[in-house]
Structure 1
Amino acid sequence: MHQIQTTVVAIDAALSQAVDANPIFLSTTDKAATILDLRRLRARLEELELRVLASAQDVAEEIGARDVASWLVAQEVADSRPAHVALALARGLEGRPVVRAGLAAGRISVEHARVILDGLAALPEDLPAEVLDRAEAHLCDLATQHRPTDLRRLANHLLEIVAPEIAEAAEAEAIRRLEEAAHAKATLTISDHGNGMTRIHALIPEAVGERLHTLLEAFAQPRVAALETDGKVRPRNRLFADAFAQLLECVPGDGVPAHGGDTTAVIVTIPIEYLHSELGIAQLGDTNVPAGEARRLACTAAIIPYVLGGQSEPLDLGRARRLFSPAQHKALKIRDRHCRAEGCTVPATWCDAHHENPWSRGGPTDLTNAALLCGHHHRKAHDPTYETIRLPSGDYRYRRKIQTSLHARR
């Protein structure tokens, strides 16, 4: 009988002896030692299995399987992915004797071995053999002192230790390849759900994602303490959704590339009676929005109102000059310091300039007709279900209007 078979039989017999043993009778010290010993023995046993797997192509050929991993799947003893992952590790260990020896001795785990092989594979292909050997030995030494997760982070800086003379250039090249791959895989889709909602799904380069995250954090920060109507703190995903909307409204029109021969602009089409009333809808691009939302956007965003009269005849194609100028914004920040809604402390930096007498009704764009409102209260100011009350202090109070039901009127 082959030595490996003899070993397997002996292990099987030893495990059979312990099958009914109750670990409750072990002392605390012995339990701790036994747990560590079993983990070490498991690593040694896994190394033996991987060693046999790496040499078992003939087993696969017996049934015409592609490889021994496929054979394991056919024997219904393993799922496809774990079986192929194990085979890849087995083949990788064949060329890394130091890693295999560490696993066989139980000094490192299979998880450590995978991290080490991944770290070595990420090194430049043209490294001298002696540098690769030093890298392998260094990672195996680190594996005895660090968890796999920590070892993976250390492996990212492997060249700085084993070949500092080429580390900087190699890292720059690796980052360049990573960025190229990220840009090649980048994708963004916008899907209209037809229920007033749009789903945005994006896979973008890490640097782009970090910039977007930073901007959303900045816009969401003053609203962290905002409460829902039931008194609960608004969840982070809701804060980010509102922050994303505010970010889009802050994009300056003159900074957007030309599109179709003109600077990109969004046109909102609205009948004049809806522009002046608290009811009705407007059309923003191909999407219907409440007239109140259109009026709110008219205060801050580079939205061009296309006003229709009777028979849908165009009366006026407004211009973005209705917006408050940067100098006026600065003056408002000095004057108001924060949102002018009663009790609101959102700082002026994060507020919109609101026309007290609506621009849609002829209100001028000057400081005497302006007040700073945060996004939440700016929406309330244009919400027809709320009434606006000007307090003696100059602040605004918003109160839901009393709705008279048909039953009550009858």
Structure 2
Amino acid sequence: MITLISGGGSMDTRTPDTHPVLGFVAATREALKDVADANPVFMTTGQKAQALVELTALESQVAELRLRVTAADDVAEETGTRDVAAWVAHRTRQDTAASRADARLATALDREHPHLAAGLREGSVSLAQARVIAHALAELPADLGAELRARAEEALVGYAAHHAPGDLRRLGRRILACVDPDAADEHEARLLEDAERTARERTKLSLRRRGDGTTRISGLLPDAAAHRLATYLESFTNPRKDTGGTATAGVGSYSRRLGQAFVQLLETIDPRRLPLHGGDATTMFVVAHLDQLTKDLGVAEIVGGGTISAGEARRLACNAHLVPAVLGGASEVLDLGRRRRLYTAAQRRALLLRDRTCRAEGCDIPGTWAEAHHWVAWAAGGATDLANGTLLCHLHHHRAHDAAWSAERLPNGDVRYARRR
């Protein structure tokens, strides 16, 4: 039985021939009753791992089916609703904005992205990954040919087998380099400059006293400035320090001026006056090729913070201490062999530029929070060299020295842990 609401609001209940989609829904809901009381505690670890992976794939497949039905929409027309997103949001008690995002994705999958739809249907692409890929494809130049657009889609769907949504988002910004290298740098630089211009125009900061001894801070900052703020704040988390200050209220255009002043303050803070962070003074790394910096439209990268335009990198260079990506200058020795047990600040910079995050498989703890680990222990004859070093977060560093765990170094440099039996 299904129930439809006509334009006049009356209830129309009919029993149509069973459609395969409705048959699947009924069978699945019936099958779920069989496991309603099943307790996962009694599953083996291997069974739990298998179930988690397969249930995630199943969720993707069900989501694709739901989006396919959404794209083949005539529900709104029959019910007098504004659109299918509004109807679904009302009838299923979902957030309207999320429902509209689903409707847009459903339309894109149905009309523009057959490879992405197939990946979602097969369970090899998650719904979160599909959203990121669809957004990346929408950002491609409008004049890009159908063949190159299809190649970009196929490449991103292939990357989904090995990359989480965050990584896919970064890959998506550079996917044009895979299909049209000549246009990639200029296109990405234009996107970045547009985004940075919008960020500067929207920058603001508001400080509102709550009357209970606390002040609520709300603001909107450019990504590069926000990453700088996060870098500075993180330097105080170990050891944790409490700082006090005063605040004044600000609204309207004053908020924008206050936000711009806050950005200027961040850019003039002397990192040498901040606590040591992971064995090094608090430093923001900007990586760029020389030819990119000299271009009008070039691209640079903030380690751990995304990409910026070459123009923004040049501006930062005017009033910031830059650390070159090619380390070892000023007689800094990066490979110390057996002469030192602990990694130097210069070596940690090199490790951060290479590893970016904790290298434990699947861990995304930032490299600035991580610890330098000797793959072959120094006490066992291991050298304090970059080839023998890797960044591991506090948890995975302890695990590397725990006899209850084995650690395997994968070809890509990641570390895979397994509990010893």
Question: TM-score w.r.t. structure 2 length?
Answer: 0.48
Higher relative contact order (CA 8 A, sep 6+): 2
Q: Which has the larger radius of gyration?
A: 1
Question: TM-score w.r.t. structure 1 length?
Answer: 0.49
